[in-house]
């Protein structure tokens, strides 16, 4: 996997153009603005529909791979035999073929889910059904503050869709020095993280050489997804919730949030000391 992916240009299908109207002035020649596309994605396992998620229609193979892991449907990418993407009127159907044994287990625990970009737990009917990561995080060693600073400085240039629309989230995998390795974007913060996790899994990579950076708040679901993937550290640009802090502490996940160019707050865990020669 390349150490640094070149920032890609978003496909035209990911944004539509709208023409602004200014109050009190007539601007017939005003330049249009780009609007992020949001599409219903019907996730189907075998012949059994599982969820309809509202998402950006990009990197869908990555999306369903990460979603399948963080939903507990598979334990790894090797349990997915194939993925097909089929555009439909009004949405896209993505069919996932599971290994036979895994599909039987999936049928035994199948539940209905109606997805939203704002919620990662829609369809869960009881507290006991909450998806919970097991054990402690298995990620890389702690990184120094300078790595987070580097990642924050680089992230913008790896978000072409957000630069175009100012309406989507990003999730990034950064190496131990803070260099951005892989980024995925989506209108939903959970979707962006699932896409990023799926991209890492499909590339044969794991969570042993860096940390996660997300452009959203750090909620319970984001912490759970990070821990299920095996990440040792999650950095969020916005603030965490109380349950996110509790779960991160329980799972041994280092959680840093309110991350800005001028600093951040470490809520659980600890950072590594700065390498020799780097003064802060």
Residues marked active site are found at: 119
Token representation of residue 220: 């319970």
Nearest to 210 by CA among 142, 258, 133: 142
Task: Compute CA 243 distance to the chain's CA centroid, rounded to the nearest angstrom.
Answer: 19
At residue 198, the 3 state secondary structure works out as helix
Task: Compute CA 109 distance to the chain's CA centroid, rounded to the nearest angstrom.
Answer: 24
Nearest to 124 by CA among 224, 242, 214: 224
Nearest to 178 by CA among 148, 154, 153, 158: 148
Token representation of residue 43: 């996730």
Spatial neighbors of 12 by CB under 8 A, at least 6 apart, are: none
Determine the straight-line distance between the first and last CA of the chain, rounded to whole angstroms: 32
DSSP H helices, 186-241, are 189-202, 220-229
């Amino acid at each position: 996997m390349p150490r640094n992916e070149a920032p890609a240009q978003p496909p035209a299908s990911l944004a539509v153009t709208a023409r602004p109207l200014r109050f009190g002035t007539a601007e017939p020649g005003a330049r249009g603005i780009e609007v992020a596309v949001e599409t219903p994605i019907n996730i189907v396992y075998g012949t059994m529909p599982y969820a309809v998620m509202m998402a950006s229609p990009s990197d869908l193979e990555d999306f369903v791979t990460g979603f399948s892991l963080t939903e507990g449907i598979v334990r790894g990418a090797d349990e997915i035999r194939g993925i097909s993407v089929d555009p439909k009127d009004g949405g896209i159907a993505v069919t996932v073929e599971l290994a036979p044994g895994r599909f039987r287990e999936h049928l035994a625990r199948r539940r209905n889910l109606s997805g939203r970009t704002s919620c990662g737990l829609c369809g869960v009917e009881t507290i006991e059904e909450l998806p919970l990561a097991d054990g402690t995080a298995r990620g890389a060693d702690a990184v120094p503050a300078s790595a987070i600073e580097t990642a924050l400085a680089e992230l913008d240039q790896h978000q072409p869709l957000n630069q175009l629309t100012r309406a989507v989230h990003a999730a990034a995998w950064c190496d131990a020095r803070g260099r951005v390795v892989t980024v995925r974007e989506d209108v939903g913060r959970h979707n962006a993280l699932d896409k990023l996790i799926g991209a890492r899994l499909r590339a044969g990579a794991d969570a042993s050489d860096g940390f996660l950076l997300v452009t959203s708040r750090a909620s319970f679901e984001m912490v759970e997804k990070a821990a299920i993937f095996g990440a040792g550290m999650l950095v969020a640009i916005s603030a965490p919730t109380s349950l996110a802090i509790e779960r991160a502490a329980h799972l041994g996940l280092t959680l840093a949030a309110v991350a800005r160019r001028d600093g951040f707050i470490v809520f659980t865990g600890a950072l590594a000391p700065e390498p020799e020669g780097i003064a802060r």
